[in-house]
Structure 1
Amino acid sequence: MVATAAKQAEQLRLDGNTYFKKDRLGAAIDAYTEAIALCPSVPIYWTNRALCHRKRNEWTRVEEDCRRAIQLDHHSVKAHYMLGLALLQRKEYAEGVKELEKALDLGRGANPKGYMVEEIWQELSRAKYLAWEHESTKRSWELRNLKDTCEAALKEKHFLDNCGDQGAVDGTTQSISEQLKALDRVFQKASEVDTPTEVPDYLCCKITLDIFRDPVIAPSGVTYERAVILDHLQKVGKFDPITRETLYPSQLIPNFALKEAVRAYLEKHGWAYKMD
């Protein structure tokens, strides 16, 4: 009886996959739901249904199915990945980032060169920027309110200190002006961490123009993004794309100094990219 149910559930999964490929999402969901009813302890049935809900932008259902899949299999890359995306939709940025990081770690362990690793990486980068943007906006409002409060308190203090002392008005006015300018400089400095800056050219790959994640240096002295230069050597030819000198993968050496420089830059500017 159990074997029969498992066989039926697996056939329903295959049917659901066929419907999904044809973009018949309703039929696919029905097939996966029937498979779940027969064998609720199989995590892939839950993640497959979650994928259908994702295509429909039904994020609450995506979250529910992914949480169930994770209960059954803590190492499900797809479950952690889609749960992360669902949490981002609810603006739960911190939790969403955690789930995407978990998915990325699991994906790297299972298949480092798989398509999902790059897809997860891109979503994680976007999620971390959204998290930074959300927090920076919150801090900006808090700083603005605090600055207004400080200015009001400073003006009130000077008014009370000099109330009735008409002879000190000119000196007081000058003192208030100077202190308000000093206060403005303090808050301007405090807000710099939330001001996006352009990444210096030397921290970017010369091929993609994107910031380095895993820089490697060639014998020519030129540094490239590892995945990009390896792809070039495999598909284009065994030569340095800039100097045109002969180049083999074994000649590439990790550029730890530049990698550390990138990490330091990103941390300083509040960008929480995860280095390889």
Structure 2
Amino acid sequence: MASTPADRKAAESLKTEGNAFFSKGKFSAAIEKYTEAVTLCPDWAVLYVNRGMAARKLEHWGRVEEDAGAALALVGAGASERDAMKGHYLLGLAMAAGGQHARSKQHLRKALDAAREANDSIKDEIWRELASANYLLWQAESTARRIRHGDMRKELAALLAAQQPTDGSAPGANGTLELPNDWQELFKTAAVHDCAVEAPSTFTCPLTMEIFRDPVVTPSGRSYERTALLEHLKKVGRFDPITRQPMTEAQVVPNVSLRAAIELYLEEHPWGWGEVK
């Protein structure tokens, strides 16, 4: 049954009370108010989002997952784009808390794309959560690969020993048979994604010394992390930090090409997510 105008008015009042409790850090009380509002207006997505945000503070991940799913189920039936963005964000957090990093990555990616499209202030927070999910996923996959490669090395060495190799292989210093150099190179190549190296300097902001999250370009052609540059313009002066060329915030332009190149680099070198998480 659809909620009546009276139900909506009462639900709005309960939501306001819930928001007040949330702002004071009284998350359990906020959840109670949002729950009362949901009983009156079960088709109002923001109530699920708000309750999920409160449950997140308490690390009640089952509640978070349920509310995020309820909000996303209302997409196309009253839920706003911001509700959908936050729904994916919350679901991504819940998946990460449960160790489901691949699923977490999918939802956080959708949330980040939506936040960037709307230029929502939460985009930086989502980026860090996405980076964390990507890094944890890489760690799990890297550990599994190392174990698998180690087992394969032992099996191959055992086969060579059993066949009395005549290809020049000889026992190593520890008495075990070493693999031929060509085979060693194959394992080295296979491990390339598990060996961290320094990221290219072009992908690093000269102000933060960290890999870019949201790079912007100035009239001089220099790129900086958006938040760092805006802070410089506000607190230091209205000029380019490196060239000293006068400029204003209105002249800052998103460097979409650089951002895309960095994300491609991180996909190919996933250990790099550890520098931005």
Structure 1 residues 106 and 256: alpha-carbon distance in aligned structure 2, compared to 1, 3 A threshold: closer
Aligned to 2:102: 94
Q: Which moved more, 1:97-106 or 1:181-190?
A: 181-190
1:135/1:60 Cα in 2 relative to 1: closer, same or farther (>3 Å)?
same
Give TM-score scaled by structure 1 length.
0.80
Question: How many aligned positions are there?
Answer: 258
When Rg is computed on C-alpha atoms for both structures, the one with the higher figure is 1
| Counterpart-to-counterpart distance in 1, 2:115 and 2:259 | 22
Question: Is 2:139 the partner of 1:137?
Answer: no
Q: How does 1:226-265 map to 2 (within 5 A)?
A: 226-248=226-248, 262=262, 265=265
Q: CA deviation at 1:222?
A: 4.5
Q: CA deviation at 1:50?
A: 1.0
Deviation string, structure 1 residues 164-209 (Cα, Å, up to 9, x no partner): xxxxxxxx49434586142333213321221122224343111110
Residue pairs, 1:1-276, within 5 angstroms: 2-73=4-75, 75=81, 76-110=84-118, 112=119, 114-158=120-164, 172=166, 174-177=168-171, 180-182=179-181, 183-213=183-213, 214=215, 216=217, 219=220, 222-248=222-248, 262=262, 265-270=265-270
5+ residue gaps, structure 2: 172-176
- Give the C-alpha shift of residue 269 in structure 1: 2.2
Decide which structure has greater helix share: 1
Residue identity in the other structure for 2:50: N
Identity of aligned residues (%): 39
**Counterpart Cα distance in 2 of 1:18 and 1:265:** 43
Q: Give SS of 1:133's match.
A: helix
Q: 175-184 or 124-133: which moved more?
A: 175-184
Please list every run of 5 or more consecutive structure 1 residues that lacks an aligned counterpart in the other structure: 160-171
Distance change >3 Å, CA 195–CA 232, structure 1 → 2: same
Greater shift in the superposed pair: 262-271 or 19-28: 262-271
Post-superposition shift, 1:272? 7.7
Give 1:260 deviation, angstroms. Answer: 7.0
Cα RMSD after superposing both structures = 2.9
- Looking at structure 1, the residues matched to 89 and 259 of structure 2 have their Cα atoms a distance apart, in angstroms, of 26
1:231 deviates by 4.1
